Amino acid sequence: MSVIEVNELSKVFQVPKKEPGLVGAVKGLFRPRYEDKQAVNQLNFQVEAGEIVGYIGVNGAGKSTTIKMLTGILMPSGGTVRVLGRDPHRQRVENAREIGVVFGQRTQLWWDLALIESLNLIAKIYDVPPARYKTALEQFTETLELGDLLNVPVRNMSLGQKMRSELAAALIHQPKVVYLDEPTIGLDLIVKERIRDFIKMECGSKGMTVMLTTHDLGDIEELCQRVIIIDGGHVIYDGPIETIKKRFGKFREITFETVEKAKPLDLPEGAETLLAEERKVQIRFDRTVSTASQVASAVMNQIEVKDFSLSEPDLADIVKQIYNGALDMEAK
């Protein structure tokens, strides 16, 4: 049995529809009209025990809505969710005992109190046996470098310190399932690195099942073997991260800075213009069909080039292309 099972899961929100103008505003007071907004549309996926799954999509794609339904806080409009065999909404309290949650943009710590107070209370709430709590606390103090923070009120912490504390608070009761909603948002590279290391080590060694949403593809590359990409409430990709890299890895991009104004160009087979601006041309080519020198010389024959650079597409570009239907085209 999978740890997380999502079947035909849908969520429709009713958003008030505002009519323009004063008349519309007055009408809205008496008879508010609502519009249905489909946030999540017939999602299907399973997550097995011990998997770390990257759950990605643009803002408004339905990531947080899905996570909220998985935690049980949000009631689905259709379809079913099972987490460890339970319906998380109906059995919210039982489910809550087994899960750990970090919402990157809000805190679960007591703002005015020293971190240690929050952790003590959380350990009580989740019935962590004192001996196990002590060991976990010692270990977290070391791996998350909390030593100097335990007696600091959360309101006095920096963003990075706060996030390390949040992780400790979410994992201190050793949950079986962990939801991390943008755990590295707004952090600098060093803190990001430390947090990724911690997640990898802590969740990996304890066999926790992790769903991770993020806009930072570095997180995904570092932590996840599998990604689920959603857009418009649909799954548009679900599979190993390697496939994505391989499928898009055969492409390269050349960016030319031109002296004269960019114009339509004749390109060798397998190459296409991605972008043509005032003095900048960006071309993508399939390196199994053409070579970089073929593309470069073709361009240089037609237009005066000041500078150019060659780049491998990073995951951000790949995701953007999937959004734009690149995977559909590949499939055809």
Contact residues for other proteins, defined by CB under 8 A: 11, 13-14, 39, 65, 68, 71-75, 89, 92-94, 96-97, 99, 101, 103, 105-108, 110, 112-113, 117, 120-121, 124-127, 153
CA distance 325 to 131: 53
Query: Would you say 108 or 290 has its CB closer to other proteins?
Result: 108
How far CA 175 is from CA of 171, 194, 206, in Å, comes to 6, 21, 9
Q: Please state the closest distance from residue 173 (CB atom) to other proteins, in A.
A: 9
Q: Please state the closest distance from residue 5 (CB atom) to other proteins, in A.
A: 20
Query: Would you say 75 or 292 has its CB closer to other proteins?
Result: 75
Residues 255/308, Cβ–Cβ less than 8 Å? yes
Query: Would you say 169 or 315 has its CB closer to other proteins?
Result: 169
Query: Would you say 110 or 323 has its CB closer to other proteins?
Result: 110
Query: Would you say 98 or 197 has its CB closer to other proteins?
Result: 98
Q: Please state the closest distance from residue 93 (CB atom) to other proteins, in A.
A: 5
Q: Please state the closest distance from residue 154 (CB atom) to other proteins, in A.
A: 11
Residues 126/136, Cβ–Cβ less than 8 Å? no
Q: Please state the closest distance from residue 320 (CB atom) to other proteins, in A.
A: 27
CA distance 3 to 317: 31
Q: Please state the closest distance from residue 77 (CB atom) to other proteins, in A.
A: 9
Query: Would you say 116 or 191 has its CB closer to other proteins?
Result: 116
Q: Please state the closest distance from residue 106 (CB atom) to other proteins, in A.
A: 5
Q: Would you state the structure tokens that stand for residue 137, as one six-digit string?
A: 């606390």
Query: Can you name the residues that pair with 239 across neighbouring β-strands?
Result: 227
Residues in the chain: 332
Please enumerate, as own/partner, the contacts of 28-35 that have beta carbons within 8 Å and a separation of 24 or more: none
Query: Can you name the residues that pair with 45 across neighbouring β-strands?
Result: 6
Query: Would you say 128 or 136 has its CB closer to other proteins?
Result: 128
CB atoms closer than 10 angstroms to residue 115: 23
Q: Please state the closest distance from residue 96 (CB atom) to other proteins, in A.
A: 4
Query: Would you say 99 or 217 has its CB closer to other proteins?
Result: 99
